[in-house]
Amino acid sequence: MSFTPVLAGLFNLGFVLLISPLYMTVVKIVKARAQRRAGPPLLQGYYNLAKLFRKEVVYSDYASFISRAAPYASLAILMVAVLLVPVIWIPDAAPAEGNIIVFLYLLAFTRFLLALLGLDAGSTFGGMGSSREMSLSAVIEPTTVVVFAAMAYVAGTLSIPEMFRHATTIIPGMSPTILLLSVSLFILIIVETGRVPVDNPETHLELTMIHEGMLLDTSGRNLALFELSHAVKQTLMMALLINILIPIGIIQEASIIGLVLAAILFLIKGTALSVLIGIVESSFAKMRFFRVPGLFMMAFFFSALTILSEVML
């Protein structure tokens, strides 16, 4: 039995859990600087998680086992998703069997758990957030499927590690399909992670709340688990874009020096992408709810164009 897939999976999991809060903080710093504020310290995301993990959990009088199990289940599902997306090391054998379709189902399941949590507390805002989240999901899911289908069609495989391996064999800047696909993936990051202009994970305004509305009755370590899950999901979506558009640095043969260099390169690329996300958030206002599907249609259009270009070229 080879321990390489197990080692790769554990390394990938530890790396993603470690760096995910950092990218969330980078986005906040960029937004603060755009508003001429100092912004939080670079490690503020870790401080917030540590503080929340130490706080007591308070449940609503109407809460069932769903409120107690959903935070752990959500993070556990995303940890399984991490095993499907090699961030800096593509081993010969994948740490977990699965493909882009399984990854899509895992993302959808975490959204379903979050919506259940919002309803379970029995509060008005939780129900409102869950209702809005499910309404958006009806539009998001077909677009996400088309974006992932374009990824699979361009790479000629459903396996995410094989997609990344295929990306290392081409020059992304010379491939129009990769560039088109990158636009769709960037929009997908904004949509799936609930960033402005689709949603604002930091707002508490009744008219705009979606993600926060579902978490208003969550506290203590349960809130910390959801915050960490949100950060992990963002890192995974960023890794899909980074390792397809700029796969330079991702290694296929493990060595200590190679892993260190690959980790440093991914940190730099992820930080640059987080800065770009922060700039986009600072440049746009929150969209009105009924205009949000227009953004999804842009991702749908670029993905369909990617598939058409691949067929024509």
Q: Which residues of 94-130 are buried (b: 16+ CB within 10 A; e: fewer)?
A: bbeebbbebbbebbebbbbbbbbbbbbbebebbbbbb
Question: Hey, how many other C-beta atoms are within 10 angstroms of the C-beta on 222?
Answer: 24
Q: Which value, in Å, is the radius of gyration of the alpha carbons in the chain?
A: 19
Note the pLDDT tens digit of each residue in 233-274: 999 999 999 999 888 888 888 788 989 999 999 999 999 999
Q: How far apart are CA 234 and CA 45, in angstroms?
A: 14
Helix (H) or strand (E) holding 242: helix 220-245
Domain around 286 = 5-312
Centre a 10 Å sphere on the Cβ of residue 294 and count the other Cβ atoms it contains.
9
Rounded Cα–Cα distance for residues 289 and 300 (Å): 18
Question: Are the beta carbons of 161 and 86 closer than 8 angstroms?
Answer: yes
Tell me what pLDDT residue 138 has.
82
pLDDT digits (tens, 9 = 90+) for 60-107: 888 889 999 999 999 999 999 999 999 998 887 665 666 888 999 999
Tell me the whole-structure pTM to 2 decimals.
0.92
At 205, is the pLDDT very low, low, confident or very high (cuts 50, 70, 90)? Answer: low
pLDDT tens by residue, 113-167: 988 988 888 888 888 888 888 888 887 888 888 888 888 888 888 899 888 888 8
The total number of residues written for the chain in this structure = 313
Domain total in the chain: 1
